[in-house]
Amino acid sequence: MTFSRAVKIAPSILSADFANFGAECRALEIQGADWIHVDVMDGHFVPNITFGPATCAAIRPHIKGVMDVHLMIAPADAYLEAFANAGADVISVHYEAGPHIHRTLQTIRKLGKKVGLAINPGTPAAVLENALDMIDLVNVMTVNPGFGGQKFIMSQLEKVATLRKMIGDRPIHIEIDGGVTVETAPLVVAAGADVLVAGSAVFAGGSVQNPDAYGANIALLRASCGL
């Protein structure tokens, strides 16, 4: 993974056909996805359950590029090795998920993975100040985590701009997660984001049988940002 600030579209398989993850991931990459975003939910940190490391490992061979695993689980520490062994390229944990975020980030680094730190809409940008030298990505949640298809929270735009200033020249990705559409994508890119997670906006009107719709949706997202 070489660092670049070019805009990347990362479809979230939360909106995929759960019985066809392999085919969905292959289709998404053929249709122009840059990264594949994998949402892990535990029914405790967030009010929804998806799947765990075994499913991530099963998906891995179907992804040629970056597998971006977003852990919405608490506690996270005990499971980091399992997600690393499952083949994640990026592992993001939530700032809010435990009392020792510094240790959690160190553990991901030691496992040889790119380190992501996710922050909920109610968490200020300032919490990153003491983590900037430890992370490769910040995931700015622009909805309350747990479900796809929610409305983008506009107040997060200012946070993205603040983070962009804090990050400066450091090779840290700013990822936006939740409510990314052709309306909101250009706003977050203008504020400094470079990874756009999109579930409903990519999967709308498509299916494993009709993957061309994914490609059309990805192209629309890129075009909305002037790409």
Which residues contribute to the site for Zn ion (CB under 5 A)?
Answer: 39, 70, 177
Q: How many residues bind ligand DX5 (CB under 6 A)?
A: 21
53 binds, among ligand DX5, Zn ion, none (CB under 5 to 8 A by kind): none
Residue 59: CB atoms within 10 A of its CB come to 22
Q: Given 89, 136, 177, 194, which residue is catalytic?
A: 177
CA distance 48 to 50: 7
Residue whose tokens read 């099963």: 58
Q: Which residues contact 77 (CB under 8 A, 6 or more apart)?
A: 98, 100, 103, 104, 107
Q: For the segment 183-212, give every residue that binds ligand DX5 (CB under 6 A).
A: 197-201
Is 177 tagged catalytic? yes
Binding mask 24-63 for ligand DX5 (x = CB under 6 A): -------------x-x------------------------
Q: Does 11 bind ligand DX5 (CB under 6 A)?
A: no
Rounded-to-10 torsion of CA 225, 223, 40, 135 = -40
Query: For residue 94, what are the CA distances in angstroms to 69, 89, 128, 132, 140?
Result: 12, 17, 12, 15, 10
Strand (E) or helix (H) holding 40 = strand 35-41
123 binds, among ligand DX5, Zn ion, none (CB under 5 to 8 A by kind): none
The binder of 148, among ligand DX5, Zn ion, none, by C-beta within 5 to 8 A per type, is ligand DX5
| 143 scored as a contact of ligand DX5 (CB under 6 A) | yes
Q: Is-catalytic flag, 68? A: no
Determine if the peptide bond prior to 75 is cis (ω within 30°): yes
Catalytic residue positions, numbered = 39, 177
Binding site for ligand DX5 (CB under 6 A): 12, 14-15, 37, 39, 70, 143, 145-146, 148-150, 177-180, 197-201
